[in-house]
């Protein structure tokens, strides 16, 4: 596999209008392959024993179905694909086997929804970008999704995954808790999305077995929206998120769920501009909620969530809210920065203030885009390579759709509430020519200063991903793994427990070989991005969003909670 070492000064951009040459990607957007019973995968190379455990992946599966009336129901937006969950069980060598073995199973998790849509000839459900009957409010559907109670497989939830979600069916002595415990310590598995609902999956068979909502954590968490990426304290396991109520007044509630007691505490409640916020940040002492420029109109949910997202207004600043998470002081500070859009935050931590050594600054890394226009790029018409619309869209893409890894600094965070609004500074912004997304890092560095970030690239060689990159945040050197025809998914970092450096470990990524139409689990050395092993799947694994690795040898899962 080609490896490139890049520097900030090098122009490694791809001029899409001149060089666009996508490989086949259709099978990654409408996979038919489902493997309900675990099968052993052929492995080439070596997968280190410390990677043993379970790797889960989730995301869209099928994107079209044949309706009962003979029509083909095609979904519009990648975020609306009928979800599918995947499980790679990685077994370390033992007395009977000298090599690491990998077993794979998967399951479509919306069978009832697909059947309902097949009979109706439409998708009459909450959706991100699917156009629907304007007489039926999406906002109303969010509020009434569980009235009457649907079956778990009739609800499309599959953006992120949580292992042993605190506060949900984890009471001591509860039979349901012990029932799902296995050698990796996995008691429960929940799928999440950006609205107030969870889907419970069997951790081994991946069968949908239950539904829940944030109201089950606390009665005041009844708002419609939340972040698919919650954040968890790496020491206590406490989980942090927000709940947003849409209405004439839009209210955010930032909350904590205790991993030890299951109790939910609302840390702060405040009214603010409603927005589509896919993720948030924590430091050792704070929750940081940035309302970036994906503002939504609560009255415009008549056709899809996309219709409610307002165009980015560069004159409107992004607002950063800092909430105390340890001492009960609630919202303590508000900051402003120039307008931007973001899907994925990376990490935040505290440093002595550059302006006043007696105070602390918050430093935050995230993947920044200039506007929310990037949401347009992931309609299926712009992604599926065999469609003329995809080629036309890719040829006209410009830098406005590209992202960069950006470091922000919030100066002089107070210990008690202050009303003055301060300014956020940008320390650096890099890798725009690589257009990184789906960032990951060593989970042991959460709330601590990190050095390395891994991500997939959207350089313009394909309609979706076309490489895996590693950024050294200290030197801003970049390494790139890329091979024509290969479309990788989010790289999951698994640390070597005996390692001496932050990047001593491996990356696990599910890759679609566009030439063969089949996928494989790729294992890269996280230090130099060289391939050390792979396990071949006998089918196409759909292009997914996110995953979790749960190590057999103990330690925290790798991924968002």
pLDDT in tens, 388-405: 898 888 877 778 889 999
DSSP bridge pairs for 544: none
Domain count, the chain: 1
For 434-492, how does the pLDDT look when each residue is reduced to its tens digit (9 = 90+)?
999 999 999 999 999 999 999 999 998 988 999 999 999 999 999 999 999 999 999 99
Q: What is the rounded average pLDDT of the residues 369-390?
A: 91
- Residue 182: the pLDDT is 52
What's the Cα-to-Cα distance from 186 to each of 177, 406, 496, 555, rounded to whole Å?
Answer: 9, 34, 21, 12
What sign for the dihedral angle of Cα 61, 67, 72, 76? negative
Query: Cα separation of 61 and 73, whole Å?
Result: 14
Greater confidence, 97 or 365? 365
Asked if 90 contacts 73 with a C-beta cutoff of 8 angstroms, the reply is: no
CB atoms within 10 A of CB 407: 17
Percent of the chain's residues with pLDDT above 70: 88
Q: Is 546 annotated as a binding residue?
A: yes
Averaged pLDDT score across all residues of the chain: 89
Asked if 546 contacts 556 with a C-beta cutoff of 8 angstroms, the reply is: no
- Does a cis peptide bond (omega within 30 degrees of 0) precede residue 148? yes
- Residue 542: the pLDDT is 95
Based on its alpha-carbon atoms, the radius of gyration of the chain, rounded to whole angstroms, reads 22
Q: Is 344 annotated as a binding residue?
A: yes
Name 179's Cβ contacts closer than 8 Å, sequence gap at least 6: none
Answer whether residue 132 is part of any domain: yes
At 340, the pLDDT band (50, 70, 90 cuts) reads very high
Query: Cα separation of 242 and 108, whole Å?
Result: 29
Strand order in the sheet with 452-457: 3-6, 478-481, 467-472, 452-457, 437-440
For 180-222, how does the pLDDT look when each residue is reduced to its tens digit (9 = 90+)?
345 578 999 999 999 999 999 999 999 999 999 999 999 999 9
Answer whether residue 561 is part of any domain: no
- Residue 559: the pLDDT is 55
Query: Cα separation of 399 and 394, whole Å?
Result: 12
Name 89's Cβ contacts closer than 8 Å, sequence gap at least 6: 38, 54, 102, 103, 104
Residue 500 has pLDDT above 50, yes or no: yes
- Residue 406: the pLDDT is 98
Q: What is the rounded average pLDDT of the residues 83-99?
A: 92
Q: What is the rounded average pLDDT of the residues 62-75?
A: 90
- Residue 507: the pLDDT is 98
Place of tokens 């190590």: 551
Percent of the chain's residues with pLDDT above 90: 74
**48 alpha-carbon distance from chain centroid:** 26
What's the Cα-to-Cα distance from 258 to each of 83, 312, 364, rounded to whole Å?
Answer: 29, 36, 24
Of 255, 268, 451, nearest to 346 (Cα)? Answer: 451
- Residue 16: the pLDDT is 39
Query: Cα separation of 172 and 320, whole Å?
Result: 38
Answer whether residue 559 is part of any domain: no
Answer whether residue 558 is part of any domain: no
Asked if 375 contacts 326 with a C-beta cutoff of 8 angstroms, the reply is: no
At 353, the pLDDT band (50, 70, 90 cuts) reads very high
Query: Cα separation of 51 and 47, whole Å?
Result: 7
Among 19-23, 297-301, 324-328, 521-525, which stretch is predicted with the lowest mean pLDDT? 19-23
Of 154, 215, 210, 158, nearest to 179 (Cα)? Answer: 210
Helix (H) or strand (E) holding 115: helix 111-120
Among 84-93, 229-238, 406-415, 548-557, which stretch is predicted with the lowest mean pLDDT? 548-557
Asked if 332 contacts 285 with a C-beta cutoff of 8 angstroms, the reply is: no
Assign 175 to helix, strand or coil.
helix
Exposed/middle/buried for 99, CB within 10 Å: 0-12, 13-18, 19+? Answer: middle
Asked if 252 contacts 214 with a C-beta cutoff of 8 angstroms, the reply is: no
Residue 295: DSSP 8-state: B
Answer whether residue 556 is part of any domain: no
Of 351, 547, 350, 556, nearest to 454 (Cα)? Answer: 547
Answer whether residue 156 is part of any domain: yes
Q: Is 229 annotated as a binding residue?
A: yes
CB atoms within 10 A of CB 121: 16
At 385, the pLDDT band (50, 70, 90 cuts) reads confident
- Residue 185: the pLDDT is 85
Place of tokens 């077995």: 209
Number of H helices, E strands in the chain: 8, 36
Strand order in the sheet with 360-369: 345-352, 360-369, 403-413, 425-430
Model pTM greater than 0.95? no
Query: Cα separation of 540 and 518, whole Å?
Result: 4
Among 402-416, 487-501, 546-560, which stretch is predicted with the lowest mean pLDDT? 546-560
Kindly give the residue spans of alpha helices, DSSP state H, lying in 127-254: 138-144, 175-179
Query: Cα separation of 30 and 384, whole Å?
Result: 9
Asked if 290 contacts 276 with a C-beta cutoff of 8 angstroms, the reply is: no
Query: Cα separation of 454 and 434, whole Å?
Result: 12
Query: Cα separation of 542 and 59, whole Å?
Result: 7
Domain ranges, residue 39: 3-551
Residue 149 has pLDDT above 80, yes or no: no
Task: Determine the longest span between alpha carbons in the chain, in angstroms.
Answer: 70
Residue 178 has pLDDT above 50, yes or no: no
Name 372's Cβ contacts closer than 8 Å, sequence gap at least 6: 276, 293, 294, 309, 311, 312, 341
Asked if 334 contacts 317 with a C-beta cutoff of 8 angstroms, the reply is: no
Asked if 416 contacts 328 with a C-beta cutoff of 8 angstroms, the reply is: no
Where is mean pLDDT largest: 158-172, 371-385, 472-486?
A: 472-486
């Amino acid at each position: 596999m080609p490896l490139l070492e890049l520097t900030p000064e090098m122009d490694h951009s791809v001029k899409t209008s001149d060089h666009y040459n996508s490989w086949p990607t259709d099978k990654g957007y409408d996979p038919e392959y489902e493997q309900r019973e675990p099968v052993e995968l052929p492995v080439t190379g070596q997968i280190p024993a410390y990677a043993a455990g379970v790797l889960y992946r989730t995301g869209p599966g099928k994107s079209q179905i044949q309706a009962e009336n003979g029509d083909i129901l095609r979904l519009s937006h990648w975020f609306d694909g009928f979800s599918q969950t995947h499980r790679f069980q990685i077994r370390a060598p033992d007395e009977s086997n000298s090599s690491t073995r990998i077993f794979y199973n998967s399951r479509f998790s919306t069978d009832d929804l697909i059947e309902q849509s097949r009979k109706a000839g439409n998708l009459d459900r909450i959706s991100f970008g699917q156009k629907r009957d304007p007489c039926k409010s999406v906002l109303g559907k969010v509020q009434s999704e569980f009235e009457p109670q649907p079956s778990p497989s009739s609800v499309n939830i599959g953006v992120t995954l949580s292992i042993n979600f605190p506060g949900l069916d984890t009471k001591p002595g509860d039979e349901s808790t012990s029932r799902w415990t296995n050698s990796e310590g996995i008691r429960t598995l929940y799928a999440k999305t950006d609205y107030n609902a969870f889907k419970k999956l069997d951790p081994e068979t991946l069968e949908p077995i239950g539904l829940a909502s944030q109201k089950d954590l606390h009665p005041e968490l009844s708002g419609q929206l939340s972040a698919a990426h919650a954040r968890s304290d790496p020491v206590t396991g406490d989980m942090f998120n927000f709940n947003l109520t849409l209405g004439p007044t839009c209210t955010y509630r930032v909350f904590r769920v205790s991993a030890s007691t299951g109790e939910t505490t609302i840390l702060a409640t405040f009214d603010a501009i409603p927005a589509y916020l896919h993720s948030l940040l924590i430091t050792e002492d704070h929750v940081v909620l940035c309302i970036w420029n994906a503002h939504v109109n609560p009255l415009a949910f008549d056709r899809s969530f996309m219709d409610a997202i307002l165009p980015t207004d560069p004159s409107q600043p992004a607002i950063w809210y800092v909430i105390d998470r340890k001492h009960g002081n609630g919202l303590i500070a508000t900051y402003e920065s120039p307008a931007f859009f973001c899907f994925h935050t990376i990490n935040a931590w505290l440093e002595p203030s550059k302006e006043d050594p007696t105070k602390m600054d918050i430093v935050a890394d995230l993947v920044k885009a200039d506007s929310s226009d990037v949401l347009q790029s992931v309609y299926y018409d712009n992604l599926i390579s065999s469609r003329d619309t995809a080629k036309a869209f890719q040829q006209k893409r410009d830098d406005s759709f590209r992202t960069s890894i950006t470091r922000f600094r919030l100066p002089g965070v107070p210990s008690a509430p202050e009303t003055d609004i301060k300014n956020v500074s940008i320390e650096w912004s890099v890798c725009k020519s690589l257009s990184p997304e789906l960032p990951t890092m060593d989970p042991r560095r959460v709330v601590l200063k990190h050095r390395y970030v891994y991500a997939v690239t959207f350089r313009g060689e394909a309609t979706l991903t076309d490489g895996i990159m590693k950024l050294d945040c200290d030197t801003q050197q970049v390494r790139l793994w890329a091979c024509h025809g290969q479309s990788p998914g989010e790289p999951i970092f698994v640390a070597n427990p005996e390692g001496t450096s932050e990047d001593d470990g491996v990356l696990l990524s599910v890759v679609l070989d566009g030439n063969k139409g089949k996928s494989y689990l790729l294992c890269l050395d996280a230090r130099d991005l060289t391939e050390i092993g792979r396990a071949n799947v006998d089918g196409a694994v759909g292009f997914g969003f996110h995953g979790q690795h749960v190590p057999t040898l103990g330690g925290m899962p790798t991924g968002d909670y």
